[in-house]
């Protein structure tokens, strides 16, 4: 699998901030936008980013408005990157409403976000065959100085972010694997079974989640396993499991269900809902060395 890599950012580029999922608080949004501007970027905030759906308050406004903000940003030739303000829930509702033909005609853009934004990462990969960036959300608690450093380096100097690891990474299953990096948030991946492509052959899968009890993690992984979702996968990189219970209990669930697959697997690579969150490109080729606890990209995420 060789996906198109968008162009890296440079000072003076215009980026658009959109809210495809949950409502966005004004104060952290302002703080995140200020960081982007400090990087020398021109920031356009989508018209409906601060909306809240009047009847379904866990959504950042109506589906049509959220879709419109993202569609306009992507199809604007002056916009170099589309940056998601936060996760929550709602991105999956947008996938079938976007005009993928128009977005393909507009050409490649940098796309960033994580958590619920996993649904859009998958869809952009399926429909547009683009590399995307699984990164901290700019209006979220995890957008701390270290996370900002990793994201900025990936966007502006991607060759400096080829070898990725975390401070508490550990080996779950030994070995090395090479293939394209895919995945993201477990809840969204399991919810998209049947409506999105399965991982390509030899894929290295990222998995993380937040505020899901161990039995729910078990249920979602079991769903993926029963659907044959891991067929052909060559390695697994696990991220953070904040709020999912005692780490030892979560580890036991993951080891019980994934250990038997016999593929290289690392625990806690350092991405997901965690301070100092790593930025990890999706759709690029990489090597996972489970013994060293590293994920090494074969080429920069952006050209």
Instruction: Note the pLDDT tens digit of each residue in 69-95.
Output: 999 999 999 999 999 999 999 999 999
- Catalytic residue of the set 48, 65, 121, 273: 273
Residue 109 has pLDDT above 90, yes or no: yes
- Find the mean pLDDT for residues 190-217: 94
Copy the structure tokens of residue 265: 């697997």
Q: Average pLDDT, whole number, for the chain? A: 96
Q: Enumerate the CATH 3.50.30.60 domain ranges in the chain, comma separated.
A: 163-297
Least confident stretch, 28-37, 59-68, 166-175, 193-202: 193-202
Q: What does the pLDDT read at residue 65?
A: 97
Can you give the C-alpha Rg of the chain in angstroms? 18
Q: What does the pLDDT read at residue 43?
A: 98
Q: What does the pLDDT read at residue 1?
A: 67
Q: How confident is the model at residue 198 (pLDDT cuts 50, 70, 90)?
A: confident
Q: Per-residue pLDDT tens for 139-172?
A: 988 899 999 999 999 999 999 999 999 999 999 9
Q: What does the pLDDT read at residue 91?
A: 97
Q: How confident is the model at residue 195 (pLDDT cuts 50, 70, 90)?
A: confident
Dihedral Cα 116, 121, 126, 131, nearest 10 deg: -170
Q: For residue 114, indicate whether it is catalytic.
A: no
- Find the mean pLDDT for residues 23-48: 97
Copy the structure tokens of residue 302: 């952006």
What b/e readout covers 271-294, taking b as 16+ CB neighbours within 10 angstroms? bbbbebbbbbbbbbbbbbbbeebb
Nearest to 259 by CA among 285, 238, 280: 238
Q: Per-residue pLDDT tens for 116-143?
A: 999 999 999 999 999 999 999 999 888 9
CATH among 1.20.120.450, 3.30.420.40, 3.40.50.10740, 3.90.1150.10 for 14-159: 3.40.50.10740
Question: What letter would DSSP give residue 203?
Answer: P
Residue 100 has pLDDT above 70, yes or no: yes
Tell me which residue has tokens 């052959």.
201
The whole-angstrom separation of Cα 198 and Cα 204 is: 12
Q: What does the pLDDT read at residue 140?
A: 87
Q: For residue 163, indicate whether it is catalytic.
A: no
The whole-angstrom separation of Cα 56 and Cα 54 is: 6
Q: For residue 208, indicate whether it is catalytic.
A: yes
Residue 54 has pLDDT above 80, yes or no: yes
Residue 68 has pLDDT above 70, yes or no: yes
Copy the structure tokens of residue 228: 């044959």
Q: Enumerate the CATH 3.40.50.10740 domain ranges in the chain, comma separated.
A: 14-159
pTM for this model (two decimals) = 0.96
Q: What does the pLDDT read at residue 197?
A: 78
Residue 264 has pLDDT above 90, yes or no: yes
- Catalytic residue of the set 121, 190, 208, 212: 208
- Catalytic residue of the set 114, 115, 190, 191: 115
- CATH number 3.50.30.60 is the correct assignment for the domain at 163-297: yes
């Amino acid at each position: 699998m060789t996906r198109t890599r968008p162009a890296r950012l440079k000072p003076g580029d215009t980026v658009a901030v959109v809210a495809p999922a949950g409502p966005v608080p004004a104060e952290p949004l302002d703080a995140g936008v200020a960081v982007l501007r400090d990087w020398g970027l021109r920031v356009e905030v989508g018209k409906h980013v601060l909306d809240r759906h009047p009847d379904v308050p866990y959504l950042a406004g109506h589906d049509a408005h959220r879709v419109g903000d993202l569609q306009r940003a992507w199809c604007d030739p002056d916009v170099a990157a589309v940056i998601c303000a936060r996760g929550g829930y709602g991105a999956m509702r947008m996938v079938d409403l976007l005009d993928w033909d128009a977005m393909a005609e507009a050409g490649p853009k940098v796309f960033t976000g994580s958590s619920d934004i996993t649904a859009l990462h998958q869809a952009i990969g399926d429909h547009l065959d683009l590399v995307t960036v699984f990164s901290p959300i700019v209006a979220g608690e995890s957008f701390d100085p270290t996370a900002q450093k990793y994201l900025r380096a990936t966007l502006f100097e991607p060759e400096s972010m080829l070898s990725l690891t975390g401070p508490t990474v550990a080996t779950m299953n030994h070995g090395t694997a090479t293939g394209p990096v895919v995945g993201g948030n477990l809840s969204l991946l399991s919810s998209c079974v049947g409506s999105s492509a399965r991982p390509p052959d030899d894929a290295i899968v990222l998995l993380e989640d937040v505020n899901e009890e161990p039995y729910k993690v078990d249920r979602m992984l079991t769903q993926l396993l029963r659907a044959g979702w891991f067929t052909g996968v060559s390695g697994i990189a696990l991220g953070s499991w904040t709020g999912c219970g005692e780490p030892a209990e979560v580890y036991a669930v993951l080891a019980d269900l994934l250990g038997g697959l016999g593929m290289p697997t690392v625990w806690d690579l350092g991405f997901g809902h965690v301070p100092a969150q790593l930025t990890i490109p999706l759709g690029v080729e990489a090597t996972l060395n489970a013994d060293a606890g590293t994920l090494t990209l074969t080429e920069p995420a952006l050209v």
